[in-house]
Amino acid sequence: MRSAAEIRMPKLGRAPQIIAFLLVLGLLGAMAIEPTRQLLDQRDRISSVAGELRDVQESNAELQAQIGRLKDDDYLEQLARERIGLVRPGETTYVVMPPSDQEQRASEKHRKAQQKVEPPPPPTFLDSVIDFVFGF
């Protein structure tokens, strides 16, 4: 019988070491894919949220300007006159009504009747020759 010192492990060479290294490298690469994908997704989300933030800030600036305008008495008077029809004491209000559909149609007919119907232009010399030759 052989003793434990006499038993030797066979030399396998470099191939198993390279295969083990490639397996470990592949495992590390596979583990890195998901965090990388999450990072890219987070960057996309950050850029979209930043765009939304800019839109909200622009809207806020417009609303702040509107608030400033609403503090102006002349602007408030203008709005009251336009939207509600308020007048000062002693002023007369005139309400101009748009024309009815029937009046608009009558006006359109009258306008079309006023337009001159232009006669077609006289035939050119070439048209006369073609008519004479071909008898059209």
**pLDDT value at position 49?**
96
HSE of 17, CA atoms in CB hemisphere, 13 A = 4
Say which residue the tokens 């066979």 belong to.
10
First and final CA of the chain: distance in angstroms?
125
Q: How many Å apart are CA 69 and CA 79, to the nearest integer?
A: 11
Question: Does the pTM of the predicted model rise above 0.85?
Answer: no
Where do we find the tokens 């077609």? 120
Alpha-carbon gap, residue 46 to 41, rounded angstroms: 9
User: Which residues contact residue 93 at a Cβ distance below 8 angstroms, ignoring those fewer than 6 apart?
Assistant: 85, 87
Backbone torsions φ then ψ of 48, nearest 5 degrees: -70, -40
- The confidence score (pLDDT) of residue 86 equals 84
Question: Residue 58: what pLDDT?
Answer: 96
Q: What does the pLDDT read at residue 28? A: 86
**pLDDT by residue, tens only, the chain of 136 residues:** 556 556 666 676 788 888 889 999 988 888 888 888 888 899 999 999 999 999 999 999 999 999 999 999 999 988 888 888 888 888 888 878 888 888 888 888 888 877 766 777 888 888 888 888 887 5
Report the pLDDT value the prediction gives residue 107, as an integer from 0 to 100: 86
Give the pLDDT confidence score for residue 4 in this predicted structure: 56
